[in-house]
Structure 1
Amino acid sequence: MNPFTFEELQKILELKATEIATDELIFNSTITFVENILGFELKDKNYNELQTVVDNKVLTKQDNITEMVNIIDMNTKQKVPNCVINGRTIFFISPEYEGHVLFLNYNAGFTPDTLPADLKEALIKIFLIKKNDFYKKINYETNDSESYIPKDIQNVLDIYKRKSL
């Protein structure tokens, strides 16, 4: 489920019923555009990974973990009982897992309750920019083929953008 739906956008902006199909297309384009900038999907979904424990911790590939479903020690085929999650880092209480390969099954992303307000605001603003740009191009009001993201919106996206390791 997407953390920010078209229906919610429709309520916030009081979009016209006659433009719903176009608005929904632009909204879906906006979500994809932002996800490409951030480097990850916004919606909460399930991920599986194999990671090796180093210094009693592993680093997941995905940010914003919402639920750790299961951790299996591939060396012993036993479930790992205790861990602490801090961002993308999973710390293990027992040192016995050092050097072991673990199978991680977790959910990560945003839910409607966890989507940060500033990121939601950035989505709305980008939607409005894309919609305005769309209608300008349809009406031949501009020859400019490039849209830009204002600095304030780019600053918000940079906060959530996937960091390279």
Structure 2
Amino acid sequence: MKKKLSHVDGKGKANMVDVTGKEITVRTAEAYAEVKLSNEVFNAVKNNEISKGDVLSIAKFAGIQAAKKTSELIPLCHNIFISKIDVNLKLNSDKNSVEITSFAKTNAQTGIEMEALTAVSIAALTVYDMCKAIDKSTVIGEIKLLSKTGGKSGNFFRGK
């Protein structure tokens, strides 16, 4: 069975999905992003020596704010009530990286995956922005959905 793209109409044109008839259910999503830093930048972040301020705290708030603005950033994305959004940033000294995770929750007619993904993406961009004065070779990578629950399409859990 071939899956049909939901954001394309019968003529192949972009179309916002009508969720009016969909059931309101609890939906969650978790996402991940990684920012790879040089030794110098990693140590500056770890020791809170970045001139713009506390990188991890500011990136956390940027991710939360971004999740709330997802429908303004992603065309055709529904504006949904977010009942919970959490963004966590952790330094990984083995990889000289910042690992970013988000958890989002709603009780809605459509999923919350885009909000979770937007949160980690903007948090990662914020880390880059705050560190670029020291080293522009910082790499943002591995942005992915870890899980989603609820809705007609069912649950998804990424294997390790």
Same fold (TM over 0.5): no
Q: Which has the larger radius of gyration?
A: 1
- Give TM-score scaled by structure 2 length: 0.29
> Does 1 or 2 have the higher relative contact order (CA < 8 Å, sep 6+)?
2
Larger strand proportion, structure 1 or 2?
Answer: 2
